[in-house]
Structure 1
Amino acid sequence: MAGKKAMSILPNLPPLPTMKEVMSVQKISALKRLSQNFLMDLNLTNKIVRHAKFVKGAHVCEVGPGPGGITRSILNKQPASFYVIEKDKRFLPGLELLSEASNGKMKIFLGDILRFDMSKLFPDDLKHDWLDIPPMIHIIGNLPFSVATPLIIQWLQEIQEHKGAWSYGRSRLTLTFQLEVAQRMVAEPESLMRSRLSIMCQYLCHVNHVFTIPGKAFTPAPDVDVGVVTFVPRKEPLIGQPFKLVEKVVRCMFQHRQKLIKWGFEMLVPFDRPDLVDRFFKLSGIGEDSRPMELTIDEFKSICCIYEELCNEIPGLFEYDARSREVSEAKKQWRTAKRDGEDVFLGT
């Protein structure tokens, strides 16, 4: 009976035990420390893969397959080749069943995706010029909440630098995030959801929140709903500065996201150089009553260009960290000296 059920759900694969049966036999349950929430509903996993598009005949990498729900949906789309990267070795027996049923298309890698290099994963003949159409490569994953944000930041850097999976060209992504994170990624200027992720994602990619999955659809059910987000890298980034410079500027600007942008400017320059804060306002043309979530990508581009000019002009400015212990101690000394009426100018 179980075989017939599996066959009816997965018409393109041989009869297989269901995901619940595999997990029951292997005595697998979700690990809270790995932020595991499994999607067992094949109607929803099929929907994720449909929104991914261009999966049939493509070369696909799935991140964190777990018990294999999305894995089965991808296999049913008949990719040319299929790679899965899983950290939890408990899932290997179930994934090996799917690999055996895939006629050699599916390969399993056991490892941490945050440390996995995808630059050699796909065939070399898939490489496209960056300005050409995207290659037939797709990265899909139901990401654990604990790694989702650091992983997408890492991948965004690889996108800008054309490394990893993006050494092949503008490879597409379809990923899951906590709903609030997904909403931040696509938030427009003046939205209360506008954040660091909004700028970092949008300046490098065309980003779409394609649909929402209720938390109750997962096992175990998280306290939040989940957003499915697609990314297609832009031909040209909307901010033409190095990734680390953009990331630092955006991080500092959103450090006090509800406050005036002066707070963000002050995070970028030494505390005893208010003249540099005035320079940001003068050169950018941004009003002093503006807040970070109100700024457009073009305005962030202007801020990044000004900051680059200042870094070229002032040695050591890029390394300046307003939150470091050394700066905190220097700030205390500066305030004490100012209070005592001393004339101080520490520079950088």
Structure 2
Amino acid sequence: MMSLYRLPPLPTIREIIKLYNLRAEKQLSQNFLLDLKLTDKIVRKAGNLQNAHVCEVGPGPGGITRAILNSGAEELLVVEKDTRFLPGLKLLNEASMGKVRIVHGDILTYRMDKAFPRHLQKAWSDDPPNVHIIGNLPFNVSTPLIIKWLEEMANRTGPFVYGRTRMTLTFQHEVAERLTAPTSSKQRSRLSIMAQYLCQVKHCFSIPGRAFVPKPEVDVGVVHFSPLIEPKIDQPFKLVEKVVRNVFQFRRKYCYKGISMLFPEEQRTKLTEQILTSADVEPTLRPSALTMKHFQGLCNAYREMCEQDPHLFSYNFREELHQKKVKRNQDTQKTPQITLS
């Protein structure tokens, strides 16, 4: 149920932009969303925010900020890197009678584990806490940020010290499709597995690029993340990430090609056959055709193999290729040049 609280009359977002002479910076991937019907719709997809504690990432001129405040949130923490937006956010803080806490900083380094009062913490197996993350993310930070948050979700650190904190975020349409892509779809990728093994991921709706100022070349997808009580793969995040990354690095080839690169060359054939058999994975499946159960089997088998050979996890075939290339160059330089006199 929506709160009866509404912000007092304020300048429009366009007027705020004009008042403070704000321009979206291309190098920061900034795109302003001015349509308040759309900002309201994004906030509604986050769920009931009555008395909630919310962190908004990159509020910019404050369109989504207003929608969050109008939804009845008890406290709104905004993390904004760009100093030009701070005066407009201070205006919203005054209008909301001090509900906005402004942090001038980078969300990639901000300590989210200290963002909210400890009394909001809930056990992981309980219902989610009344804590939400919402943001219209700049394109250049969206993928590294969601990977960082997924790792913190797996480790129950960062914003997940409070429990199963939910997130509602915007991404380039293509990234939103990857995050939610089902098995065998063309968009199925590393990002699909990393998100879906930890969360229920829902592509809520798309926003046409023309709704933003300046208009980006792509449309935008709004994605909602609800952390699962039990992850679909019960292995450390770094191990899952390594297996998934290797599988998808040759996405157009059969899956055994990427899986084989988990192992040093001299053991490659034997260990690849061993992991495929143990995980019950058909070697000629394409990476996109592997189910979550297949990835669970591969990660479990790889963990056992790493326990038998502790050096295996640190093996990186790209590093091996680089060392071979360096050695070839050194050998070439050592070869005496034969000249005809």
TM-score, normalising length: structure 2: 0.92
Alpha-carbon distance, 1:332 to partner = 9.1
2:118 paired with 1:124? yes
Alpha-carbon distance, 1:26 to partner = 1.7
1:166, 1:254 → 2: CA distance? Answer: 28
What is the correspondence of 1:294-309 to structure 2 with a 5 Å cutoff? 294-309=289-304
2:215, 2:50 → 1: CA distance? Answer: 31
What is the correspondence of 1:102-181 to structure 2 with a 5 Å cutoff? 102-181=96-175
* Equivalent AA in structure 2 for residue 193 of structure 1: Q
2:250, 2:35 → 1: CA distance? Answer: 40
Counterpart secondary structure, 2:305: helix
Which is worse superposed, 18-27 or 230-239? 18-27
Alignment match, 2:47: 53
Alpha-carbon distance, 1:331 to partner = 7.9
1:262, 1:255 → 2: CA distance? Answer: 11
1:123, 1:332 → 2: CA distance? Answer: 53
Alignment match, 1:247: 241
Give unpaired runs (5+ residues) of structure 1.
Answer: 1-9, 335-348
2:151, 2:92 → 1: CA distance? Answer: 33
2:226, 2:5 → 1: CA distance? Answer: 30
Equivalent residue for 1:269, pick from 263, 272, 277: 263
Alignment match, 1:323: 318
Counterpart secondary structure, 2:293: helix
Equivalent residue for 2:37, pick from 26, 38, 43: 43
Q: Is the 8 A contact 1:271 1:331 kept in 2?
A: no
Counterpart secondary structure, 1:323: helix
Alpha-carbon distance, 1:329 to partner = 3.3
Q: Is the 8 A contact 1:189 1:293 kept in 2?
A: yes
2:310 paired with 1:286? no
Deviations 1:191-242 (A, max 9, x none): 1110001100000001000100001100111111100000010001000000
Counterpart secondary structure, 1:268: coil
Alpha-carbon distance, 1:262 to partner = 1.4
Deviations 1:62-119 (A, max 9, x none): 0000000000111111201110000101000111100111111111001010001111
Alignment match, 1:194: 188
With over 3 angstroms needed to count, the CA separation of the structure-2 counterparts of 1:67 and 1:332, relative to structure 1, is: closer
1:146, 1:135 → 2: CA distance? Answer: 29
2:265, 2:20 → 1: CA distance? Answer: 58
1:154, 1:121 → 2: CA distance? Answer: 16
Counterpart secondary structure, 2:127: coil
Equivalent pairs, count: 324
* Equivalent AA in structure 2 for residue 308 of structure 1: R
Alpha-carbon distance, 1:172 to partner = 0.5
Q: Is the 8 A contact 1:114 1:151 kept in 2?
A: yes
TM-score, normalising length: structure 1: 0.90
* Equivalent AA in structure 1 for residue 100 of structure 2: M
Give unpaired runs (5+ residues) of structure 2.
Answer: 329-341
* Equivalent AA in structure 2 for residue 311 of structure 1: C
Alignment match, 2:77: 83
Alignment match, 2:199: 205
Deviations 1:162-187 (A, max 9, x none): 11110010011000001111111111
* Equivalent AA in structure 2 for residue 117 of structure 1: R
Percent identical? 54
2:97, 2:29 → 1: CA distance? Answer: 32
Q: Is the 8 A contact 2:5 2:72 kept in 1?
A: no
* Equivalent AA in structure 2 for residue 30 of structure 1: A
1:332, 1:303 → 2: CA distance? Answer: 32
Counterpart secondary structure, 2:197: helix
2:10 paired with 1:16? yes
Alignment match, 1:92: 86
Q: Is the 8 A contact 1:252 1:267 kept in 2?
A: yes
Counterpart secondary structure, 2:261: helix
Q: Which runs of 4+ in 1 moved over 2 A?
A: 326-334
2:327, 2:118 → 1: CA distance? Answer: 57
* Equivalent AA in structure 2 for residue 297 of structure 1: M
Alignment match, 1:218: 212
Alpha-carbon distance, 1:309 to partner = 1.1
Counterpart secondary structure, 1:151: helix
Q: Is the 8 A contact 2:34 2:63 kept in 1?
A: yes
* Equivalent AA in structure 1 for residue 304 of structure 2: E
1:58, 1:118 → 2: CA distance? Answer: 16
* Equivalent AA in structure 2 for residue 46 of structure 1: D
Alpha-carbon distance, 1:55 to partner = 1.0
Q: Is the 8 A contact 2:276 2:298 kept in 1?
A: no
Counterpart secondary structure, 2:317: coil
Alpha-carbon distance, 1:327 to partner = 3.8
What is the correspondence of 1:17-36 to structure 2 with a 5 Å cutoff? 17-36=11-30
Please report the RMSD computed on the Cα atoms of aligned residues, expressed in angstroms: 1.6
